[in-house]
Structure 1
């Protein structure tokens, strides 16, 4: 397999030497009068003669735009942005496939303040581009009152399981960025962050299944970049978002965004507060087999009812100063305080092999935690000349702190008679401290009008300190005693140094891009409780390649290849134990190894609205949740191990198009097959499954100020991690919106899962493990949200850059309380 992949990469590289990219396009750069690139400028292209609108696009943060798939003819182009006078260019002639570059064009600042003018633009729900899929969050009415995790769960190709783990096209191992920066979280803590981030703070979700070498090589299935809302106009302006959600328990995510720009200064602040309360119910039916050939030895029928509540208070503030028209420097700080509580009441009916009730275990657990975070980013950007040569640099420091307290009280009653026979009382103090430092420098060097060379360096240092101290109640001494079998003090330190180079080229109908990234990892871990330690020192190369060809005005083909790595989350390596009851718990594994994958995609795009993608990937040493079981004590626990090799093959189809003037539809479907081969608990694993998932969204316009939505998804029976089989699941949502207060305000009403059909059902049958799982949560809810935009909007200024040097590390802080 490796030989074939190497030959494919060489073939791509050889093709790039002889050919390169391009299509019949209109492209250019939009700046202000000082030459500073303008982001989010609306570019509209019309037929010159008839005035018919052909396509709409927007500029990137570098002020660049590109409109593709254009036929012969004469066109008119307009550029508009709030605070600037509209620009119009007439008689842009296109013949054949020769691209047209209008060069750098500047917009003139409007002389009149736009304090009383509000421009409301309607973006498409989903945009499919050559390198990524973009989900415009506000275009989905049903996102009102929801969370960032809800938004991801509705996005095409993304699935979120019952524990908050995120998969893309049936594959786990996704890196989640926020404004181009890693959260440094993974597992439950990433899920909790996204649950406590209101959807009204989000602008777009960018889904990249095959990132270039510029990005960290982590994330086997790709990268999801969540972009938050940003003020883009000079003067003082902002927005306030208020939401109330009623499910079985109330919820309320709220936020305030403030922006001020004047001359060379840009100031911004975002405040958020949310209250989130809910429940989850978990039912487990576990069957324990006797010795070989013997009948069942025991049956555990367990039910746990959980109630969680959390308050999330966060701030993100910063400033940027334009030293001159080519150079700017910025500082951003952010902090989060998230106190949360999880209570669980459970009962387990324990039957003997003849299905007679033997005993009952009653468990009560309480987990409290005050999760705190601080981050600071210092960034620098300078343009070296007018050709586009540019240097950017980022210095980041992030700290996460937690002091979780856990108690688990278990009482066993023998039957008949319901007599108390035994008690198991456990408590734990679980402080965690994570410090992350990162530095990154990137350089861009254009090679004429059709080529570009990018290169960069990055270094990061991560230090984690997890001190899990457990105590057992000693009934004889009537005091707490140290539980040395569970207590563990785990220290971990990791340094990653990376360098990359990326080359792209255009020529007529072809597009070519290839890159190579090197990452050197030096890590060491130590368990102080037993004085065990390990060291890892390895360097890996991660090549990427992209090739596209325009068949004609309506059809374009592309292919790409990339090698990627997925390192274990820091908390997944922390050997602390989280208890459901004395028979069921979850724990980390400090000896996890990274997993590696080879990914290939071939795509066809028709008229920019219908996209078909074939994908193939192979992942070795895959990290997955597994169940381990002690047949004598009847204890089952969940942990992660490098269990298998996974082969994934699939086809995905997306369609995004207005059907009428009042009805727009977005459809996505993905059929894929996962095959797992390896060893679990010393037994060979050979499991495969073909599954299907689909997303549907319908947007409706009523008059000028009303909108409606019907959306939902369906997932067929599928294999999760090789061991768990998840049964079919789906949901349907409804939404209604109304613009008010002269379009400065928007009211949205959303009803999610009114029929209460979204719940998890699954099972595991492997070796001696036979478990059925049923789970449901506080998902059926109605939400009412109000958004109001205010302030004085004047001419635009330099766009602040909110990306940082933190990439792979921040997504790997996983762990935390289950909510």
Structure 2
């Protein structure tokens, strides 16, 4: 309904323009020093009495513009990023007018280092984060946000889609700086539904300032979605298809007229995602009463996943510029998915010579419906041009996820019925106040309150020829409530070559766990202080150092603390731990940046000291499950526990080299050592693990202006107290060609070229050893077509910003 009202307002505005005499204003914008045309420069026509923007437009590739406007008197503003704005005051525009050639000069006062880059991903370095402005990354065209993150330095995405930062999977993922329904109840699935083309930039925050939540011991990934503020209608539309069968359409559209800016980012996709897994387990059978060894037994489990993912997401809103200093933005987000997953599970029991003793075929057809609605309002007040501002955000979100399975087993007439219903309500209230003190100092304070309630109902029933009974040992209902109230303050400044940002955050947490099935009620209340320190020092014009410290927390999710088991198979279960406590980390980061002509080096050394860390262990439950013709096999349980401590330290660097305009190479390397210490139930879980990963991205322009990009990623082997995992190699390949005078692009890419993205591991305990292999998604091919209207390919002029100005304190 709100979107319909927005469209009506657009038509009213257009109708009002139609009642006035319209004229055409033309001209050309060029670079003052080089005389090169400036594409994508913004021309705004402003009412000089009310100082309000009436209409406007942008320049073409040759720097020319032609804009129809209502006849009147205007101040004409010509803007381009990193250039000084030119304003033509009180121009009487009553007939068709040519403003001639307008020259813009570089704004040298605010510009540290200007780099001209055409459609390439660029990096901005700030005290508390690195900002990756997502350019034309061919290997993710037609893909998802998960694919984009897998190409960002310091970030890795495993075969199941779990995101890690510097090898640590406890990452806080935000959308536009806030928790979002686009991430949803299951962040992995949600990130695979959001189209890659909707992303403008990704902020990698390894040393978060006090403005951010303390949640996430690895740091924060903040995904910023595209939104234009240019006058008129502009946007881009992408359609894609591929194999295994996939099809999708997505777009981002903006329409700004006067004081209103209407925007939407929407998409629909259909994907078939085949996958597979294999596990081979050897049980060391020891009679616990007599301690006598019995013959070993063997159990193999082979699964094939045939998944169908159908997802719709849309974010529509309107931004109202109330006056020159304040704006109000309202938006509505809707995300819906209709998923199917048919899992064929073959369990076989061989003897020690490999001869088959028994087998069982288990079929699990699961349907899943997800729906998320989120309403947001944002108010922004700028008191002056120096950065003195106040912002207020309110966000309410409702999510629901329903899963239904009807599990059948060979030679067993009873049908297992599994239903999971999750309902989540989240409220966010946030306000931030920024006060500049002089030219180089900035004070900030704010409040954030998050209120989350999750109701999980897990029902297991058995249908025996129409006689349905409920399994009370597995069925359960958990009500999880979490309230976090936080206040923070921070001070940033620059003295000579030294920049600093010092902050303190206080978070009060209240968690209640109401296990209605067992009448078990648990409440936890605690308050924590989280200091942050970020320092920067400019060695030379091209070299700089950063040093960061922050304290972080990892709170257990509801699934981690639900004591009732949920089953992924008849012989493997996951069970939460209601005694799980939060984990705390102290994180140190020392960074070095050096720009050597065509080569840029960005490196850092980091150390993370964590206590009460989460570790997942596998254990023999002592229970058995019946397979095949009545054979009993052991059931393995996986659950989280707290261990005493973890020391993680490592080194990473990113190299960017551009031999010429047609060739660009980017490499990222990360190596880390993780030492875990702790005992649980009389068993020692000490482990020392060294691992690393590397990413190489090579992009070159071939004849006929065809872009060729190859991305290779390798994750080295790693291990903990129970599990050793092998290294993993993945290669992506893509080709792209611009069409229709760069208004459109056609891209073909291959994901996982060698079909090698498989996790192979060996888990060893006192009672069993398991060899396993898992592949979430097999090799895929995608063809995508993007068409841009009034939103041509940008020739960005950006800077590697370090220190200086208010920009370094933005959060």
**C-alpha contact (below 8 Å) 1:675/1:686 kept by paired residues:** yes
Other-structure match for 1:108? none
Other-structure match for 2:305? 306
CA distance in 2, matches of 1:346, 1:491: 32
Report how far residue 229 of structure 1 moved. Answer: 2.0
Other-structure match for 2:259? 264
Other-structure match for 1:613? 604
**C-alpha contact (below 8 Å) 1:78/1:87 kept by paired residues:** no
**C-alpha contact (below 8 Å) 1:656/1:667 kept by paired residues:** yes
Matched ranges for 1:137-176 at <5 A: 137-176=134-173
**C-alpha contact (below 8 Å) 1:79/1:86 kept by paired residues:** no
Other-structure match for 2:322? 323
Other-structure match for 2:358? 359
Report how far residue 718 of structure 1 moved. Answer: 1.3
Cα distance change on mapping 1:657 and 1:353 into 2, 3 Å: closer
Q: Which moved more, 1:654-663 or 1:354-363?
A: 354-363
Matched ranges for 1:117-132 at <5 A: 121-124=118-121, 128-132=125-129
Other-structure match for 2:247? 252
Cα distance change on mapping 1:356 and 1:702 into 2, 3 Å: closer
Note the alpha carbon deviations across 1:684-727, whole angstroms, 9 max, x for none: 111111112101111112368431112111111113x6543220
**C-alpha contact (below 8 Å) 2:144/2:193 kept by paired residues:** yes
Matched ranges for 1:712-751 at <5 A: 712-719=712-719, 722-751=721-750
Note the alpha carbon deviations across 1:456-490, whole angstroms, 9 max, x for none: 01112111111112112347xx5111110011011
Matched ranges for 1:778-797 at <5 A: 778-791=777-790
- The root-mean-square deviation of aligned C-alpha atoms, in Å, is 3.0
**C-alpha contact (below 8 Å) 1:186/1:569 kept by paired residues:** no
Other-structure match for 2:552? 564
Cα distance change on mapping 1:497 and 1:769 into 2, 3 Å: farther
**C-alpha contact (below 8 Å) 2:736/2:745 kept by paired residues:** yes
Other-structure match for 1:530? 518
CA distance in 2, matches of 1:618, 1:242: 46
2:497 is equivalent to residue 509 of structure 1: yes
Note the alpha carbon deviations across 1:623-668, whole angstroms, 9 max, x for none: 2333232245200133333245221110001111312232111110
2:281 is equivalent to residue 282 of structure 1: no
What TM-score results when the alignment is normalised by the length of structure 2?
Answer: 0.80
**C-alpha contact (below 8 Å) 2:194/2:313 kept by paired residues:** no
Report how far residue 129 of structure 1 moved. Answer: 4.8
Note the alpha carbon deviations across 1:378-413, whole angstroms, 9 max, x for none: 1101112343211000010001112211232234xx
Report the 3-state secondary structure (helix = DSSP H, G, I; strand = E; otherwise coil) of the residue aligned with 2:264.
strand
Other-structure match for 1:467? 457
CA distance in 1, matches of 2:790, 2:80: 28
CA distance in 2, matches of 1:166, 1:560: 23
CA distance in 1, matches of 2:207, 2:107: 37
CA distance in 1, matches of 2:748, 2:715: 26
**C-alpha contact (below 8 Å) 1:126/1:656 kept by paired residues:** no
Report how far residue 223 of structure 1 moved. Answer: 0.8
CA distance in 2, matches of 1:650, 1:792: 42
CA distance in 1, matches of 2:692, 2:86: 42
Report how far residue 530 of structure 1 moved. Answer: 0.9
Cα distance change on mapping 1:188 and 1:759 into 2, 3 Å: farther
1:448 is matched with which residue: 418, 438, 453? 438
Other-structure match for 2:76? none
2:540 is equivalent to residue 552 of structure 1: yes
Q: Which moved more, 1:288-297 or 1:778-787?
A: 288-297
Other-structure match for 1:624? 615
Matched ranges for 1:332-731 at <5 A: 332-351=331-350, 357-411=356-410, 420=411, 425-474=415-464, 479-575=467-563, 577-607=565-595, 609-631=600-622, 633=624, 634-680=634-680, 682-702=682-702, 705-719=705-719, 722-731=721-730
**C-alpha contact (below 8 Å) 2:419/2:460 kept by paired residues:** yes
Cα distance change on mapping 1:320 and 1:722 into 2, 3 Å: farther
**C-alpha contact (below 8 Å) 1:628/1:681 kept by paired residues:** no
Report the 3-state secondary structure (helix = DSSP H, G, I; strand = E; otherwise coil) of the residue aligned with 1:750.
strand
CA distance in 2, matches of 1:79, 1:576: 63
Report how far residue 181 of structure 1 moved. Answer: 2.4
Note the alpha carbon deviations across 1:715-766, whole angstroms, 9 max, x for none: 11113x6543220111122211111111111111112222212211111113
CA distance in 1, matches of 2:586, 2:110: 36
Report how far residue 680 of structure 1 moved. Answer: 4.6
**C-alpha contact (below 8 Å) 2:347/2:359 kept by paired residues:** yes
Other-structure match for 1:116? none
**C-alpha contact (below 8 Å) 2:734/2:750 kept by paired residues:** yes
**C-alpha contact (below 8 Å) 2:52/2:258 kept by paired residues:** no
Report how far residue 778 of structure 1 moved. Answer: 3.2
Report how far residue 352 of structure 1 moved. Answer: 5.2
What TM-score results when the alignment is normalised by the length of structure 1?
Answer: 0.79
Report the 3-state secondary structure (helix = DSSP H, G, I; strand = E; otherwise coil) of the residue aligned with 1:150.
helix
**C-alpha contact (below 8 Å) 2:657/2:664 kept by paired residues:** yes
**C-alpha contact (below 8 Å) 2:271/2:308 kept by paired residues:** yes
Cα distance change on mapping 1:354 and 1:654 into 2, 3 Å: same
In structure 2, stretches of 5+ residues that fail to align are 1-41, 60-78, 88-98, 625-633, 793-811
Report the 3-state secondary structure (helix = DSSP H, G, I; strand = E; otherwise coil) of the residue aligned with 2:296.
strand
Q: Which moved more, 1:661-670 or 1:678-687?
A: 678-687
Cα distance change on mapping 1:655 and 1:31 into 2, 3 Å: farther
CA distance in 2, matches of 1:90, 1:508: 24
CA distance in 1, matches of 2:184, 2:641: 15
Larger RCO (CA within 8 A; separation ≥ 6):
1
Matched ranges for 1:159-308 at <5 A: 159-183=156-180, 189-246=186-243, 249-291=244-286, 294=293, 296-308=295-307
Q: How many residues align?
A: 692
Note the alpha carbon deviations across 1:186-245, whole angstroms, 9 max, x for none: 798211111111212222222111111001111111111122222231111221110112
Note the alpha carbon deviations across 1:426-482, whole angstroms, 9 max, x for none: 21221111001111010000011111011001112111111112112347xx51111
CA distance in 1, matches of 2:103, 2:722: 59
**C-alpha contact (below 8 Å) 2:413/2:464 kept by paired residues:** no
Report the 3-state secondary structure (helix = DSSP H, G, I; strand = E; otherwise coil) of the residue aligned with 2:186.
helix
